[in-house]
Amino acid sequence: MRPRSASERGFAVGVSGPFDLSLSLRAASRFTGGVAPDKLRIVARVGVRPVILEVSQKRKDPPLLWAASPSGAGREVRSIAAYVLQTDLDLSPFYEVALRDRRLGPVVRELWGLRPLRPASLFEMLITAITEQQISMRVAEVMRHRLTSRFGGAVDGAPVFPDAGSLKDATQDSLVGCGLSRRKAEYVRGISKMVSSGELDLEALKRLPDDEAFRVLTGVRGVGPWTADYVLVRGMGRLDRVPVEDLGIGRAVGKYLGEGLRVEDPGEVLPLLRPFAPYRGLAAYYLLVHERRGAVPGAATRGRRQP
C-alpha cells in the first residue's frame, strides 16, 4: 500500500482565542436550512485549480484545528483555511466588552467560541450577497447550488463555486434559469465582468479602510448599503459594520436590546449596538444566532429594499 503523503495527512491550523467549530457550523446551518456537518468541507481555488479542503477540530482549549486536502493541495490551502475560519480573529476582546452587558453577556456565554465563517473567496461572498437580496436564505442557497452545478462543476463530487470568468459570459436566460430574477442576473453578469477585467479589484478592496471600501462597493451596480455592509462584515471581517436594513438584525436587536420591540427603523439599530463598538457587527451576529435557535431554519428574509 502506498504511504500517505504529508498533504494527505494534513496539518495543524492555529487559531487565536476561543473557537468552537461544531457550534460555528451549526450556527451557519441555521441561516440556510441545511444539516450541520461534523467538519468543514469546502472547495476553494488555488490559482485556477479547484481543491477540496476539510477541517476538523481536535481540541477546544486551547483550540486546535486539523486541515487536510484530499485533492492533494496540502499546505497550499493553509491561507484559504485561515481566511474561511478567520483564524486571526481573537474573540477575547469582544467577550470582555460583551460580558459587561447584562443582555449580551448571557448570549455570549451560551455561544462561547462561535465564529462567523466566510465563503472561500470575496467574489463568492459578493455573489452570495446578491443572491440573498430580498429573499429567504434557503431560496438563495438553492440558487447558488444551481449556479454552481451549471457554471462551476465539481471535484470528487464536491461542488465548485464558479469564478468570475465562468459567469461573465453567462447569458441572461441561463442565469434566470438558475432562479435569479432578471435584475439579479444583470448584477451577477456585471460584477463578474468588472472582476474579470480588473475594474473591480477585490484584493485591493481588502486593503481599504471601511468607509472607502463601502464607497467602492456601493458604486457597483446592484450593490446597495445592505449588500455592501454584509460583504464588509462577513466577507472582509470588518466586525464593526452592521447591515442595518436587515430585517433579521432589526428583529434580534430589538428583542434583546430594545425592550423586546421589533426595530423597524434602520436608524435605530446602531444606537442600540453602540455599547459594543468596535464589534457591533459581531454582536449583531451573536444576537441573530441566539434568536434563531428556536426558529425554523432559513425562514428569514435578508435586506429591506433593493439597491
pLDDT for residue 199 is more than 60: yes
pLDDT tens-digit map of 6-19: 445 688 888 988 99
The pLDDT, as a whole number, for residue 35 is: 74
If we measure between CA atoms, which residue out of 185, 171, 85 comes closest to residue 133?
A: 185
Catalytic residue among 20, 163, 229, 246: 246
And the C-alpha cell for 22? Answer: 461544531
The pLDDT, as a whole number, for residue 1 is: 37
Mean per-residue pLDDT over the chain, rounded? 88
Rounded distance, CA 88 to CA 140, Å? Answer: 29
Catalytic status, residue 246: yes
Q: Which residue has the cell 494534513?
A: 10
The winner for highest mean pLDDT among 127-136, 186-195, 256-265, 296-305 is 186-195
Q: Phi and psi for 49 in degrees, rounded to 5?
A: -90, 120
pLDDT tens-digit map of 85-119: 999 999 999 999 999 999 999 999 999 999 999 99
Average the pLDDT over each of 1-15, 145-159, 175-189, 255-269 and give the range with the smallest value.
Answer: 1-15
The pLDDT, as a whole number, for residue 307 is: 37
pLDDT for residue 295 is more than 60: no
Largest Cα span, the chain: 64
The pLDDT, as a whole number, for residue 6 is: 41
pLDDT tens-digit map of 19-67: 999 999 999 988 877 777 889 988 888 777 888 889 999 988 888 899 8
The pLDDT, as a whole number, for residue 285 is: 97
pLDDT for residue 4 is more than 70: no
Instruction: Specify whether the CB–CB gap between 80 and 46 falls below 8 A.
Output: yes
H-helix or E-strand containing 243? none
Alpha carbon 136 to its chain centroid, in Å, reads 15
And the C-alpha cell for 160? Answer: 465548485
The pLDDT, as a whole number, for residue 107 is: 96
Q: Tell me the pTM.
A: 0.90
Give me the sheet containing 40-46, strands edge to edge.
Answer: 11-14, 63-68, 49-60, 40-46
Q: Phi and psi for 134 in degrees, rounded to 5?
A: 70, 15
